[in-house]
Amino acid sequence: MTTLEKVSKRSTFPSKKQPLRIIAIGDSLIYGYGDPAGGGWVERLRRQWMSPDSSGHALYNLGIRGDRVCQVLERLEPEYRYRGEFRNQFPDLIILSVGVNDTPKVGHENGRHLTDFMTFQGQIHCLLQQARELCPVLFIGMVPIDEKKMPFLDCLYYTHQAQYRYKEATKQACFKYNIPYLDIFDLWMSRGETWRENLLMNDGLHPNELGYQALLQDILNWNPVMQLP
């Protein structure tokens, strides 16, 4: 019997006010690549929650650079099972952030997507459905890339057009499963060129130190996070 079959479905947090056990799982945006000072938004939030006058929530960073949805789907249940801290206990919340590595075209601007769009749709639905059966879930959307800096690694062509298409599919799937989705792509794009000039690394793909600071602030100002116990 799998953990999915053993774990009772929990759509709410523990009734008693107590620190939550949270896993943040996904790609380099979770890992925090590009922020040597603060370690990314997850690490910054973990440190904040560890302070004596804060919530005391335990936050585990389970980000892997380059991960696509299929890889996070494969990791989700084992990662969840081993982060309960105590015997027969499991995390109270899953934070997901993945998808951008599925979007680029390979080899040239008219190449195939690294993950075919129809395949991506099926995988994201499987991921969200599985996560939702474990515990409450939040989804942090992808940041916009700088098209002028492409290709990444001389072979991956990321575009805003593809990003928008894949993130909209993710957003719609989150709506179907009643999972809050923070649309970072639209939020940053609405702010003009500030994000492109100040918040990305020279590779045009990853946030820099200021970018992760901005991302953390957007997350802290998001109602689903503000309303955590």
Which residues have a Cβ under 8 Å from the Cβ of 102 and sit 6 or more positions away? 68, 69, 113, 114, 115, 120, 166
Average pLDDT over residues 215-223: 98
Q: Where exactly are the structural domains of the chain?
A: 21-224
pTM of the predicted protein model: 0.92
Mean pLDDT of 37-56: 92
User: For the domain bounded by 21-224, which CATH number is listed?
Assistant: 3.40.50.1110
Contacting residues for 78 by C-beta, under 8 A, at least 6 apart: none
Q: Supply the pLDDT for residue 14.
A: 57
Residue pLDDT, tens place only, 106-158? 999 989 999 999 999 999 999 999 999 999 999 999 999 999 999 999 999 99
Q: Around Cβ 57, how many Cβ atoms within 10 Å?
A: 19
What pLDDT is recorded for position 87?
61
CA distances from 26 to 145, 192, 203, 216, 221 (A): 17, 27, 20, 16, 21
pLDDT-based confidence at residue 82 (cuts at 50, 70, 90): confident
What does the pLDDT look like over 47-71, one tens digit per residue? 999 888 888 899 999 999 999 999 9
